[in-house]
Amino acid sequence: MTAEFSGQITLDGPSGTGKSSVARQVAQQLGAHYLDTGAMYRAATVAVLDAGVALDDKVAVARAVSAATIEVGTDARREKVKVDGVDVRQRIRGAEVTRAVSPVSAVPAVRRLLVARQRELVNGADAVVVEGRDIGTVVLPDATLKIYLTASPEVRAQRRAGQLGVTDPDKIAALAADLRRRDDYDSRRADSPLRPAEDAVVVDSTDLAQEETVAKVVALALDAVRTGQAS
Ligand SMILES: Nc1ncnc2c1ncn2[C@@H]1O[C@H](COP(=O)(O)OP(=O)(O)OP(=O)(O)O)[C@@H](O)[C@H]1O
Ligand SMILES: Nc1ccn([C@@H]2O[C@H](COP(=O)(O)O)[C@@H](O)[C@H]2O)c(=O)n1
């Protein structure tokens, strides 16, 4: 563990580029807190699905999210995601939630609620790594270091397949289509679309092993602190 880092690191990028895996490891190496904001939008989606409201009814969607108690931890070594006291760590990664999460997260009132929670969760921390889609652009615009993580669509689909143990080419093609669909939705929404912050460092992990990606981000973070650079 390195204790030299203090500040905020944001990690944004399209689906399946390795944000969660990389952000968690970077946080562990730097002794920092870690916040997975995608898990918060997924937990909000659980609340919406359980309330049984139509995904295109923005008022009802926002009401369902606001009525739920969503708890997400910031310990990089222990994942905590609860909705109304129930552990939903597994459920939020399932197909039902993954299909519904982009429409839910495009609702401005939902974003207002969760962005406020995200800032509350990280603003007291000495060192924190936060990953998502709009962290560098909206949630923490004054972060110490902003990373925008990319990888080719083919590599991302292969990695997701590896994560899920999928080998059937048709199923891999379906995973690729799902990544594309989510990226399109997240990039085209009016409120806080997925895009790199102007001052983000773009890291393309297509040809990097995960440990190399982590090492690159850690080096950039230590460099940002040494040079006193506020991005
Ligand atoms: N060079 C690399 N950099 C990052 N992740 C990699 C790399 N090589 C392989 N992976 C793997 O890619 C998979 C996808 O990573 P992860 O789930 O962290 O992505 P993500 O961007 O958080 O996805 P999503 O936005 O859909 O939640 C993981 O199994 C991870 O271990
Ligand atoms: N800052 C964020 C983070 C996530 N989203 C939405 O949640 C979906 C799930 O995110 P994962 O990182 O867990 O895959 C994502 O597709 C976005 O719709 C967001 O809007 N803003």
ipTM confidence score: 0.96
Give, for ligand 2, the residue of 186, 194, 195 to mutate: max count of ligand atoms closer than 8 Å to Cβ.
Answer: 186
CA of 3 to the centre of ligand 2 (A): 29
Residues 177 and 117 in one domain: no
In a domain, residue 112? The reply is yes
- Residue where a domain stops, chosen among 82, 99, 125: 125
Distance between CA atoms of residues 139 and 119, nearest Å: 7
Domain that holds residue 105: 35-125
CA of 156 to the centre of ligand 1 (A): 7
Q: Given ligand 1 and candidates 210, 211, 217, 218, which is best to mutate, with the most ligand atoms within 8 Å of its CB? A: 210
- Per-residue pLDDT, 4: 85
Phi and psi at residue 131, to the nearest 5°: -120, 150
* 66 and 142 part of one domain: no
Whether residues 135 and 216 fall in one domain: yes
CA of 96 to the centre of ligand 1 (A): 20
Residue 7 assigned to a binding site: no
> Which atom of ligand 1 is found nearest the CA of 179?
26
Cα(131)–Cα(217) distance, integer angstroms: 13
Average pLDDT, the chain: 95
pLDDT, residue 151, reads: 96
Same domain, 203 and 131: yes
Q: Is 102 known to sit in a ligand binding site?
A: no
pLDDT of residue 230: 46
Question: Which CATH number is 24's domain given?
Answer: 3.40.50.300
Same-domain check for residues 62 and 11? no
145 and 74, same structural domain?
Answer: no
The atom number, within ligand 1, closest to the CA of 208 reads 1
Answer with the one of 96, 125, 154 that is the final residue of a domain. Answer: 125
45 and 119 housed in the same domain: yes
- Counting as low any pLDDT under 70, the low residues of the chain are 1-3, 229-231
Is the domain of 116 the same as that of 131?
A: no
Number of domains in the chain: 2
Q: Are residues 85 and 142 in the same domain?
A: no
pTM: 0.96
Residue 229 lies in a domain: no
Q: Is residue 58 part of a domain?
A: yes
Residues 18, 39: one domain?
no
Q: Is residue 197 part of a domain?
A: yes
φ, ψ at 40 (rounded to 5°): -70, -45
Question: Binding site annotation covers 136?
Answer: no
14 domain residue, yes or no: yes
| Residue 45 and residue 155 in one domain | no
Asked, for residue 25, whether it belongs to a domain, the answer is: yes
- Do 177 and 154 belong to one domain? yes
Backbone φ and ψ of 172, nearest 5°: -65, -40
Domain annotation covers residue 230? no
Question: Is residue 67 domain-resident?
Answer: yes
Q: Report d(CA 87, CA 82) in Å as an integer.
A: 5
Residue 94 DSSP class? S
Domain final position from 86, 102, 125 = 125
Query: Does 165 appear as a known binding residue?
Result: no
